[in-house]
A = this chain, B = another copy of it.
Amino acid sequence: MSVFRIELKVRDYELDMQGIVNNGAYFNYLEHARHEYLLEKNIDFAALTEAGIHLVVIRSELDYKQSLKSGDRFVVEVSVERISKVKFGFRQRVIRLSDEKVCVAGLVIGTALNQRGRPSIIPEIEALFAE
């Protein structure tokens, strides 16, 4: 399965007092990359939300290996894998462009909650695994 990539640059408001990107900001980077990936696959998170389908994260496992700093450019990678009948996973990495070092790597597991709050894998997500 192919790996989806977006390229971003650190914004200084994402740095903390240590002068490095705050841990919470990586979560934002990863989420943004997932939504861009889904959009490329014609899955519009905002449109799903309005339709009452909530894609939600149920678990995340992240390893922080290197820190991004002011001015750093980086890539966020996304690839999907099936976890169970109602769970799907996103393998994700944040890679600094200057030296190709992996800064963050991990797995984010999600499900889709329908209007009654029941977890499932919606057909649009199901189709991701058929590729």
Contacts and interface: CB of A to CB of B under 8 A. Distances in A.
B24 A70 contact: no
Given A24-B13, A28-B24, A59 B56 contact: no
Interface stretch (A15-23, A82-90, A122-130): A15-23
Contact of A45 (B12, B45, B62, B64): B12
Interface string A22-45: 111101100110010001000011
A131 interface: no
Contacts of A61: 59-61
Given A17-B46, A27-B24, A70-B17, A35 B12 contact: yes
Which of A13, A32, A63 is most buried by chain B, counting CB atoms within 10 A of its CB? A13
B64 A17 contact: no
A59 B65 CA distance: 9
A118 interface: no
Which of A25, A28, A50, A54 is most buried by chain B, counting CB atoms within 10 A of its CB? A28
Contact of A23 (B16, B27, B67): B27
A78 to B, nearest CB: 14
